[in-house]
Structure 1
């Protein structure tokens, strides 16, 4: 025990040392990556030190200045999650990195595969650990016709999150769900959005004309942003693809792309591939309505970015979606059986004018800010460290 006490860095009153373990860091339209990148940037700006433990080949060289990065060997297969990279759970390199970095606290996002090694190393070094829950795998399995896997999935998640001091969730809906599956204690990690980058002023008629293609300028550009994967409910968008007066634009990539291209070959659906940064922000602001067909999300970052861009939203009915929209007239929810009416619902949403619903969408986002969200996260870290310090004398 004395050796572990010597290892432990004394938490400072100012900046902390935070080690993050993440299953991915790829530069893609991914809510977990979006949140982590923004959080790391804000932590560095506030004077905290950061270590990232991520899979190799996952875009790790695109990170804020001063961030230390450890890449673990990874594997991928085009038959699994569309070729997504998975880091191997090698504990040795992780433990060496943590010993060298001497973090105050370890935060593991979605501790599934690579996260197992980070959790084991942190436990060996008796470091305080926070985990965060970002994907409702059990619900996704049920929607994929694999409901029998729900029980084993929750059992595995209980095991993974059970070794942490606190599990963070991204919405109040998840804060209510996890305790029902005996994952506790949980705490809300507030969300944020880059309100300067995602802004209605980026609306560009030249971009909109390019999105419309041969369509009439008065037609509606209906945008989807995200992974092209079965759990996203993308077949619900087929009525929009075939509706007169609507141009469906799908921004993203994933294992379902080829199937979508085949199914929608008789339509003029536009596939843009992955977009990011200012190009993505211009796309949001220049569309007319955002479509969000997934009801398996724990939050839905693209939904938040769309609202900040002044883009009215047509979204699948779910607890996290209702939490984000909050009754705003800048969005409407669609029951699972009602997506056949999506073209009519969009026209109703845009009445009396797009400008009116755009302003309502933007107003809904104005209280969401990454600085505020990260300050709340730091408060959670400090609370965990305080409990850990009180425990230490008793443990010795």
Structure 2
């Protein structure tokens, strides 16, 4: 066949870096797709930052006419969700974090189920163990694969295990996302981190737009009985809330320093996690309430019944709880880091919520005290936060993934497939003429 010239090499590189068209064609926008989702941990049984994201995503895909199956961890999963079949895969606890179930999802039963479904595209959450199974099945079936990156594991590793594991973890992430046809990230900050680590090319990293259920998280859920519960019977006292998984990586010990400097103020932790017992000991004798995990209307009431939501975490890939608090009309004071930067951009600081320099106690306290001592300002900020969140809904975010990002993944997959088949195409053209050339699509 001969060696490729330098110009041909450069041309191939330019084509590889070229961005695909936003939409392949009008038919691909409206034509129903068959989508296989591999989600770990389960968005049905495990409370995590992406639970609402995936549940709303499935719901909206189904409403848009797509067929969906969901492969996830076996514990506590329903048989179906909004008409999407749910397939439970046997799981085992993470060695370093026992409450997180893991599963490879590569049993003959699951492979057969996915093959029978004949997906047009596979979408897997990452990092994890199940994403390896999803990648293997995608290659077996010759199907495009999208990976959405939800947990910034390299940041968590030093807090749960050994720092020397960070570099191997980045190698695993590069292997997985280098093999994916497209990577979705929840924030621009995470996109920058992945690009800096040379995980994949910049044009193969796309944003999964933020979304919030503005009907479920609404100021109307403010409830006296819930405030009574969160304040341990002192509803007239100023009330700080924190909602989310209680993990050591969330920097929740910082809130102990905050509360030491705020006499007369109460705090409520809504959520559960491996760090809960340590926090309860830390806050022993202080005006703190731990509700455990709340769901449904109780969770909506908990958000809307506080005065301020404080988020000290510096490792949020998105910060879904920040969106939900703002949607509930409760101002947020959050560390200026990670995905929260996308939720509260610089031009909105001081209008819809406050940010503080990570780890700067005085900066954080000044923002909290300003809100606590100025009720009119606090209420105006809560109203502005609510109005801002009304611009985002899950349906719009799902439509972009379905009609643009999935199309881009399919475009890249077809291009990669064409490049792999091009030597056969070249040979066929010369042996049989162009009319007998191999086609692909």
TM-score by length of structure 2 reads: 0.81
Query: 1:253-307: CA deviations, max 9, x gaps?
Result: 1111111111111213101111122211111011111111111111110111111
Inter-partner Cα distance in structure 1 for 2:161 and 2:103: 27
C-alpha spacing 1:381/1:341, structure 2 compared with 1 (3 Å):
closer
The corresponding residue for 1:330 is: 352
Inter-partner Cα distance in structure 1 for 2:265 and 2:80: 38
The corresponding residue for 2:410 is: 385
Secondary structure (helix, strand or coil) at the match of 2:164 reads: helix
Query: 1:346-385: CA deviations, max 9, x gaps?
Result: 1213425221111121122122110100000002112322
The corresponding residue for 1:339 is: 361
Matching residue within 47, 50, 75 for 2:92:
75
TM-score by length of structure 1 reads: 0.90
Secondary structure (helix, strand or coil) at the match of 2:310 reads: strand
C-alpha spacing 1:359/1:104, structure 2 compared with 1 (3 Å):
same
Contact 1:94 1:118 in 2 (8 A): no
Contact 1:81 1:254 in 2 (8 A): no
The corresponding residue for 1:5 is: none
The corresponding residue for 1:295 is: 314
How do residues 1-12 of structure 1 correspond to structure 2 at under 5 angstroms?
Answer: none
Gaps of 5+ in 2: 1-26, 422-439
Inter-partner Cα distance in structure 1 for 2:166 and 2:405: 30
Inter-partner Cα distance in structure 1 for 2:371 and 2:251: 21
Query: 1:63-118: CA deviations, max 9, x gaps?
Result: 523111111111126x7324222224435333212111100000011142122111
Q: CA deviation at 1:146?
A: 4.2
Contact 1:332 1:349 in 2 (8 A): no
Inter-partner Cα distance in structure 2 for 1:362 and 1:335: 24
Query: 1:137-157: CA deviations, max 9, x gaps?
Result: 112234568443221111110
The corresponding residue for 2:395 is: 371
Query: 1:306-346: CA deviations, max 9, x gaps?
Result: 11111100111204212211224231112233236644431
Matching residue within 351, 369, 384 for 1:360:
384
The corresponding residue for 1:131 is: 147
Inter-partner Cα distance in structure 2 for 1:90 and 1:174: 29
Residue 94 in structure 1 maps to residue 105 in structure 2: no
Inter-partner Cα distance in structure 1 for 2:213 and 2:161: 36
Residue range with higher mean Cα deviation, 92-101 or 245-254: 92-101
The corresponding residue for 2:136 is: 120
Contact 2:226 2:305 in 1 (8 A): yes
Contact 2:318 2:338 in 1 (8 A): no
Secondary structure (helix, strand or coil) at the match of 1:108 reads: strand
Secondary structure (helix, strand or coil) at the match of 1:85 reads: strand
Inter-partner Cα distance in structure 1 for 2:191 and 2:291: 35
Secondary structure (helix, strand or coil) at the match of 2:38 reads: strand
Residue range with higher mean Cα deviation, 272-281 or 89-98: 89-98
Gaps of 5+ in 1: 1-9
Contact 1:116 1:160 in 2 (8 A): yes
How do residues 1-396 of structure 1 correspond to structure 2 at under 5 angstroms?
Answer: 13-25=30-42, 26-57=44-75, 59-61=76-78, 64-76=81-93, 80-142=96-158, 146-184=162-200, 185-215=204-234, 217=236, 219-242=237-260, 243-326=262-345, 327-328=348-349, 329-339=351-361, 342-350=364-372, 351=374, 353=376, 354-378=378-402, 379-389=404-414, 395=421
Contact 2:181 2:412 in 1 (8 A): no
C-alpha spacing 1:42/1:13, structure 2 compared with 1 (3 Å):
closer
Inter-partner Cα distance in structure 2 for 1:258 and 1:336: 24
Contact 1:192 1:368 in 2 (8 A): yes
Query: 1:5-46: CA deviations, max 9, x gaps?
Result: xxxxx9895211100011112444412222111100110111
Secondary structure (helix, strand or coil) at the match of 1:83 reads: strand
Secondary structure (helix, strand or coil) at the match of 2:50 reads: helix
Secondary structure (helix, strand or coil) at the match of 1:84 reads: strand
Inter-partner Cα distance in structure 1 for 2:173 and 2:415: 28
Inter-partner Cα distance in structure 2 for 1:260 and 1:150: 26
